[in-house]
Chains A and B, each alone.
Chain A
Amino acid sequence: MNRARALSILGIVVVLLGGLSWLVRARDSHVGHSHGTSGKSITDTAIEWPSRDRIWRTIALTDYNTRVVFAGVTALGAASGLVGTFLLLRKRSLLSDTVSHCTLPGIGIAFLIGEAAHLSGRSLPLLLAGAAVTGVLGMLAVVTIRARSHVKDDAALAIVLSVFFGLGIALMVVVQQLPTGNAAGLSHFIYGKAAAMTSSDAKLILIASIGAALLCAALFKEFKLLCFDATFARTQGWPTVLLDLALMGLVVAVTVIGLQAVGLLLVVAMLIVPAAAARFWSHRLGVTVLLATVIGAVSGFVGVAASALFPKLPAGAVIVLAAVVCFAASLVFGAERGLCKRWLEQRRVQHRVARQHLLRAIYEWCETCSQPPGRDAVNLLDCPVSLDDLRRANDWSEKRLRQLLRIGFAERLIMLNDNRDAVHLTAEGKLEARRVTRNHRLWETYLLQYADVAPQHIHHNADEIEHVIEPNIVNKLEELLAGREGAALVPADPEKPRVVPLRGAGL
């Protein structure tokens, strides 16, 4: 079961990434000499509103450059959603923000090294390697500060983030004043520029994404244990420090490959938002991981599509906005933890409780009317109840009374008398009132008699005591109730109710 799930997750991720890599490769086989033009940005032909032809070309992915960017960014979205889920569950979300900011000085330094070595300073692998190095350094700095000093976690993150980012900004200014004048594109790493992606960039992203997916699939169980209970993992001999390093290494990798597309300011959103959104839909880790991957991929896709159609729109920002829309929708409609679900559950409980209150109140009123209490079971519930008495006896407000009566009328449990100042139970209402009151009293007695174990058996959905408690205990409870004054036993099997024709009822 578990293995099947892990395999299916892996399968979907690999198919997704494989499909994307096919998109990139397809062009290479058609046209061998694409290197000169593939770097051309799709924003070069900027127009305000997309022509129909352009929309078609974007959707059908006929344009090679668009295809490249689509493949790269979608893969990035998938990988970040996947890794982000574990990061979120490990409660290290903010560490990824710090890591992304720490990459900036690395980019500057790598550029300087490249210039000094007379390589092309804009070589992406070199720049990303530099970014990864300072990203890891920043992460280690946080860990060291946390372990070796009394500085608290959040302060350590803030200090490292600002120091590295400040250093990076200073380096950027220096680099841009170099006479070679090659550094113009470096600021893309701050805000992101997906459109500037070349096919070799996209391939780099794809390879890194596939690697991340494979590592996550292989270490699924280990990461699960690490995120849930790292202490226990340590007692079991799992190298938690190594596992943490692997996870944080994945975070650095995703951050670094995401720099170009979404920029270092927003890459944290790619990691955290899809994962946080997925958490509203499932209580299973496998499903959560898969959903986060899909949400990340879809966000990436939407972002690139928007920026391909409207070249003035920055892809990075749209990607993040698309993810946030997914998050907002999940927050409201999420099947497991969404606000709607919780609200509906709340409503259902309130409704049931209100219904029970009404029926029990009427039953008890009828009981006090008859002498001796509760013994005249046959005609007991025919007694009409004045609305005013009902309200006062139960200390209800006018509003509450109206609310309860509405429920009673809607379900045809009670009917208004001709004078419109009293209600009586319908045939169905009598049955329900007996059932509800009986259950309530049995539960009450059960709580008193079995105080030690009772709380774990009482559940909001357990209306019927027989569904939860063994019959012999129910019998005993009934005996106990029969001997009690006041709240007497409610007959379990009342006589067949007389069929009363229903009159139109309403307030």
Chain B
Amino acid sequence: MLKITIFLLIISMLTTSIRMVFRATIWDKLLALNLISAKTILLLAVYAVYKDNIFLLDLSISCGIIGFLGITLLSRFILRGGRQK
């Protein structure tokens, strides 16, 4: 069961990165960053339960923090008038 979840998560990450990153606007890329960081949190959590390794869960929490910080700072940079497409 968990294996199929991991497989589906990887597929959704691939399609997100391929489809969204090559779009014109910056906010599509930001949205892709948000989606992929959320998916990595899920992937790490599912893999941690799959392998019964408890340290991976701490990794997924820190990955969530980093993803969230990245998005806030990037959007502030864009709001301040970074390079506009």
Is chain B found bound to chain A in the same assembly?
no
Residue ranges of B at the interface with A (Cβ–Cβ < 8 Å): none
- Chain A interface (Cβ within 8 Å of chain B)? none
